[in-house]
Amino acid sequence: MKRLFIIGIVLLAFFVTPVSAQDINETIEGLKGKITELQKQEDSLAKQISLLDSQIKLTQLRISNIQAAINKLSSEITQLAGEIERLEELLTRRSELVLHRIPESYKRKVVPQFAAVFLSQNFSELLSRVKYMEVVQKQDAQLLFQLKATQNNFSERKNLREEKRIEQEVLQRDLEAENRELARQKSEKQTLLAQTRNDEVVYQRLLAAALAERQALERALVDAVAVGPIKKGEPIALVGNTGYPGCSTGSHLHFEVRKNNAWVDPGSYLSSKSVYDEQTNSDANFGSGSWDWPLSDPIRMTQRFGKTPYSWRYAYSGGIHTGFDMTSNASSVIKAPADGTLYASSQPCGGSSIIKIKYIDHGDSTLSFYLHVQ
């Protein structure tokens, strides 16, 4: 019954597959090509929606591929379990047989050869006894060989099953990561439609506001005024909403870090800390460096670095949010996370709005920025 069940699972894996792996891979390649073409087009709401839809479909296909691989491995592991059980029974039987027969053969072997002469009635019987002993010895040798082969096969099947289990665990982690990415992409699309109200004019206005903020920051690098040396932990500004309504939607600190004039994840500089993450609506750990955080606990992360539900606005950075957006319920004081030289600037941003920016030059081509300060 168990063998029939195993065979049934294997057959199910082969015949209850709605789409072939080749078809899925061809569709994946087609979607990748479509995404590449869309990325070359001029920014528009229709383009962005189509891009997100394609990315969602691509992730769903990857999930299907991974799930199919996991299901196939599950069938193979189940089949191997049956084989291992059968081999274990065979190994037990052959081991018992060897343990019984070898001592008997040994007893026969140590009997003096001439004893066979006295035990035989005639020469013909003597030959029969000698041939019988030779046959028994050959059978014993064959039995030992079979036992060793069974042991090797048993070990190989167990090792193979363990390899497939490890492979399945890796795929399961990949599946979880893809499911998280799918949830993020769906959330990004929902946020896009909600923020733009599915209106091209609103979409273009939000893109322009994000670009204006980036341009204001670039101008600040050129004409900012040096305030002077600053030590780690010293106050440098207060959290504000400057740039509203053109370049800010509410009071928060936009904190970013540049290394060699390239955006880097601020978490690689900030020390490890648990903060409330609005993207997951739960506490999460951020940071792997040695810098202090610029705000006091408890900190609320309103937007992470990288791909976020709002990062579609940042077309200039390839849809990447270039820093951390955060607030603090304890204090609005912003403190220097590390030693350096402090600079301050005020720039027009989004029409008549003025955004206040401060940044610290930490040396070694490393800058930290603080936007929307009071």
In a shared domain, residues 129 and 174: yes
SS3 230: strand
Q: What are the pLDDT digits (tens) for 204-257? A: 999 999 999 999 999 999 999 999 999 999 999 999 999 998 888 899 999 999
Of 142, 173, 196, the domain-final residue: 196
Tokens of 64: 């299907």
In a shared domain, residues 328 and 251: yes
Residue 88, pLDDT > 90, answer no
In a shared domain, residues 294 and 344: yes
pLDDT for the residue numbered 273: 96
Residue 70, pLDDT > 80, answer yes
Residue 100, pLDDT > 70, answer no
In a shared domain, residues 318 and 171: no
pLDDT for the residue numbered 35: 73
* Parallel/antiparallel/unpaired status of strands 340-348 and 333-335: unpaired
∠ CA 177-183-184, nearest 5°, is 90
In a shared domain, residues 129 and 239: no
Q: How far is CA 148 from CA 68, 90, 137, 145, 151, in A?
A: 37, 12, 17, 5, 5
C-beta separation of 287 from 271 below 8 A: yes
Domain of 56, CATH number, reads 1.10.287
pLDDT for the residue numbered 214: 93
Q: What are the pLDDT digits (tens) for 272-297? A: 999 999 988 999 999 999 999 999 99
Token pair 């399961």 is found at 172
Share of the chain above pLDDT 70, in %: 77
Of 196, 216, 244, the domain-final residue: 196
Q: What are the pLDDT digits (tens) for 152-172? A: 776 777 788 888 889 999 999
In a shared domain, residues 308 and 190: no
More confident residue, 96 or 307: 307
Residue 25, pLDDT > 80, answer no
pLDDT confidence band for 369 (50 / 70 / 90): very high
More confident residue, 267 or 130: 267
Which residues lie below 8 Å from residue 359, measured CB to CB, with a gap of 6+?
220, 221, 224, 342, 343, 345, 367, 368, 369, 370
In a shared domain, residues 222 and 174: no
What pTM was estimated for this model as a whole?
0.68
**Cα–Cα nearest to 191, from 360, 310, 15, 289:** 310
Other C-beta atoms closer than 10 Å to the C-beta of 95 total: 13
233: left (phi over 0), alpha (psi -120 to 50) or beta: left
pLDDT for the residue numbered 304: 95
Of 196, 213, 240, the domain-final residue: 196
Mean pLDDT of 25-41: 75
pLDDT for the residue numbered 153: 73
In a shared domain, residues 188 and 234: no
Mean pLDDT of 181-194: 91
The residue segments making up the domain with residue 39 are 2-196
Which residues lie below 8 Å from residue 123, measured CB to CB, with a gap of 6+?
none
Residue 2, pLDDT > 80, answer no
Q: What are the pLDDT digits (tens) for 250-265? A: 999 999 999 999 999 9
In a shared domain, residues 88 and 191: yes
Token pair 């040798």 is found at 141
Whether omega for the bond prior to residue 294 falls within 30 degrees of 0, making it cis, is no
Long-range contacts of 22-30 (CB under 8 A, 24+ apart): 24/61, 24/64, 24/65, 25/65, 27/61, 28/58, 28/61, 28/62, 28/65
Residue 123, pLDDT > 90, answer no
More confident residue, 120 or 358: 358
Share of the chain above pLDDT 90, in %: 54
Other C-beta atoms closer than 10 Å to the C-beta of 349 total: 27
Mean pLDDT of 346-360: 92
Tokens of 286: 């951020």
Strand intervals (E) in the chain: 225-230, 235-238, 253-259, 262-264, 273-277, 282-286, 299-303, 324-328, 333-335, 340-348, 354-361, 366-371
Q: Which of 1-5, 53-57, 95-99, 291-295 has the lowest mean pLDDT?
A: 1-5
Task: Quote the number of domains for the chain.
Answer: 2
Which residues lie below 8 Å from residue 189, measured CB to CB, with a gap of 6+?
49, 52, 53, 56
By CB atoms closer than 10 A (0-12, 13-18, 19+), residue 215 is middle
In a shared domain, residues 91 and 211: no
In a shared domain, residues 34 and 12: yes
SS3 349: coil
**Cα–Cα nearest to 218, from 351, 42, 371:** 371
pLDDT for the residue numbered 103: 56
SS3 264: strand
In a shared domain, residues 41 and 188: yes
Mean pLDDT of 343-368: 94
